[in-house]
Structure 1
C-alpha cells in the first residue's frame, strides 16, 4: 500500500491555481483528491496522488517552479503536532533530529535526514529530503515543494543565524536555474544524488529563542502516544541502501548485507520470507532510477549507466528495452506525463 500524507501538505493549492487562472477542481478529481478534505489538516490522502497532482498542475499552468510557488502559501504549521515540537526545540539541530525520527507523523513516505558533512559546501552539514514510493513517479514539483518548505521553516526558526551555503536537487529543473537561486538566495546544483539544503554548522548549533519547554513536552507526548514509527521491512531497507549505493562499488549482495549488519544468507532468507530477492529488488531499483534519470535529468547515457551500476551502455539499452520496450534515447524523447 502506498504511503499517505497529511492534507495540510497541499495547503494553498486551490488558491494558487485560481490565482494563475486555472480551476483546481478537474485535476483534484483526476487524482481523487477531495477539495473539501484540504480544509482538514488531519485528513490523509495518497502521497502518490499528491506527487502526480503537482506535476500535472505545473504542466497545466506552464509553471516550471510550481512547487516553489506553492511553498509561499504554506507555513510551518502544515506539519501539525511536529511543528509545535520543532518551534520549541532547544536548538536547530535538536529540532532537526526530532523531525528526522518523526517525519512519519506527516507522511511515512517522506524521509528527512541530517548528514554530518556536506560534500559541496565547506564547514556545513547536509539536510536531505526523499520521497519514498515504489515505481517512483516524476516528482520534480513535490521535491521542490519539500525543499522550499524546509528552507522557509528553518529560516523561520533560525532567524538571522540562518546561513544556507548551497542547495542540491536531483533533477534538471524546468524553470531557469536563476529562478531557483533567487528563491533560495544560494548556489543551486542540479542532477545531484540527493535533494538537500547545505547549512552552516553555526545554523545547526543556534539556540531557538522564546521556546516553551512545556509546550514541547506536550507535543512530544502527543506524538509518542498517538503515532507509531514504521521501521520498514527488510526489502524496504535493502531497496533504500541500493538507491544510495548503486553508483558505487558497494551495491553487491555482500556489501548491502554488511551495511545492514546482516549475514548475506540471513538477508536472503528474510527477503525470501517477504516473497522477493536481492536480485529482484536491485532490478526494480534500477528500473525506477533509470526512468527518473531519463525523464527528469539531462545526464548523458554513459553517466546514467554508471549511476545504475551497469557494466556498459549496451547493458542500459538492453535493460530499458526489457523494462519499457524502448531504447533509452526514445524514452528520453517521450518524457512521461502523470498517470
Structure 2
C-alpha cells in the first residue's frame, strides 16, 4: 500500500498527546512514511501501526479519527477520476479498476442488499490481511468510503445504515455519531447500505477531459502483467462486474477504444470478449461458492446475471452440477 494510507496519522496522534515517530518505530516503520505519500509499505504493517497506536493511546476510535482526517487527495490521480466521472456508478467502476494503484488487499463492490430489500444496495468493504480483520484499519477504510461518497454525491447521498462484520472496540454511539445512521454489528460482511439507485447519482461539475487525463496516467503505470490487451480487458471485466454490465461497449469505453477495435485486438491475441466474460464469471462464482456463505441470489447479481436460474444453468455447464453441490463439495 502507498504510505498515503496513513496520511493524517501524525496530526491525529499529536492531538492525542502522543509521539507519532515513536509509534512508527515501535512497529518497525521509518517515520518518513508519515510524511510522504508514495512510499510502498506492506498493508499489514500499516494495520499494525493503527492497532498498536490505538492501544498505546487508549483511543478505541483511532480508525474513525483517521477517516475524518483523510481527504480525497489521499487517492492521488484516482481522486481526479472520482470527482470527474459523470455518475457515482462510473466513479465506483474507476475505483474497482484502479484501486490496485494504492493496494492489492482491499476489495470493494456494490452488491444487492443482503436483506433482500429491492430499494437498497450494499457497498461492501473487505481487507485480505488476516482474520479477524484489523479493527482500526477497517474503521478507517469504511469511514473513508463514507466520506468519499459525501464528497462525490453530497452529504445526503442516502446512507441507510452501516453494517460491520467485526466487533468494534469503540462504543456504538461513536460510530453512529460519525456516520449519522444506525450501525449494526455482527453482519456477514462490512458494508454501507445505500439506495438501490445510488450508482445513477450524477456528480456535479464532472470534467470529462480531466478524467481522461487521469485515466491515461494510471493506465501508463499499471503493473506489467496487465499491459497485454487481453489481460487489461479481463481485469476490467473482473473489477467492474458488480457495477457495469459486462457488455463490450462498456469495457471499450473504459479502455478508450471503439467496440470494433476491442473486438479486433482481442481476436489478434487469440481471445474473444464473450470467452473472457465467461471465464471471469466462472472463477468469481467458484470463489464465492467455495470461500463464502453468500446467498445464491447475491452471487448471481454480483456476476451480472439477471436471475438465479442463469447461475444454475451456468454451473451445470461449467462443472456438471448445481451451485449448491459445488458448495457442499468444498465443505
TM-score (norm 1): 0.67
1:118–1:124 contact (8 Å) kept in structure 2: no
| 1:24 equivalent in structure 2 | 20
> Is 2:242 aligned against 1:194?
no
1:161–1:202 contact (8 Å) kept in structure 2: no
Instruction: Quote the Cα distance in structure 2 between the aligned partners of 1:261 and 1:19.
Output: 59
What SS does the aligned partner of 1:245 have?
A: coil
Structure 1 residue 178 displacement after superposition: 1.3
| 1:183 equivalent in structure 2 | 178
Q: 1:147 aligns with which of 137, 142, 152?
A: 142
Instruction: Quote the Cα distance in structure 1 between the aligned partners of 2:165 and 2:318.
Output: 30
Alpha-carbon deviations, 1:196-234, whole Å to 9, x = none? 1111134432211111110000111111121135969x9
Instruction: Quote the Cα distance in structure 2 between the aligned partners of 1:10 and 1:261.
Output: 46
In structure 1, the gaps of 5 or more residues are 249-254, 265-277, 283-308, 310-339
Q: 1:77 aligns with which of 54, 73, 86?
A: 73
The 1:217–1:120 alpha-carbon spacing in structure 2 relative to 1, beyond 3 Å, is same
> Is 2:161 aligned against 1:166?
yes
In structure 2, the gaps of 5 or more residues are 239-279, 297-310, 321-325
The 1:262–1:136 alpha-carbon spacing in structure 2 relative to 1, beyond 3 Å, is farther
> Is 2:104 aligned against 1:104?
no
What SS does the aligned partner of 2:85 have?
A: coil
What SS does the aligned partner of 2:292 have?
A: helix
1:180–1:188 contact (8 Å) kept in structure 2: yes
Instruction: Quote the Cα distance in structure 2 between the aligned partners of 1:26 and 1:114.
Output: 39
Q: 1:115 aligns with which of 108, 111, 114?
A: 111
Q: 1:244 aligns with which of 272, 281, 292?
A: 292
Instruction: Quote the Cα distance in structure 1 between the aligned partners of 2:217 and 2:317.
Output: 33
Instruction: Quote the Cα distance in structure 2 between the aligned partners of 1:150 and 1:26.
Output: 29
TM-score (norm 2): 0.69
| 1:95 equivalent in structure 2 | 91
2:158–2:194 contact (8 Å) kept in structure 1: yes
Instruction: Quote the Cα distance in structure 2 between the aligned partners of 1:195 and 1:128.
Output: 6
Instruction: Quote the Cα distance in structure 1 between the aligned partners of 2:15 and 2:115.
Output: 39
Over the residues paired in the alignment, what is the CA RMSD in angstroms? 3.5
Aligned length: 261
What SS does the aligned partner of 1:174 have?
A: coil
The 1:64–1:241 alpha-carbon spacing in structure 2 relative to 1, beyond 3 Å, is farther
> Is 2:52 aligned against 1:56?
yes
Structure 1 residue 116 displacement after superposition: 3.5
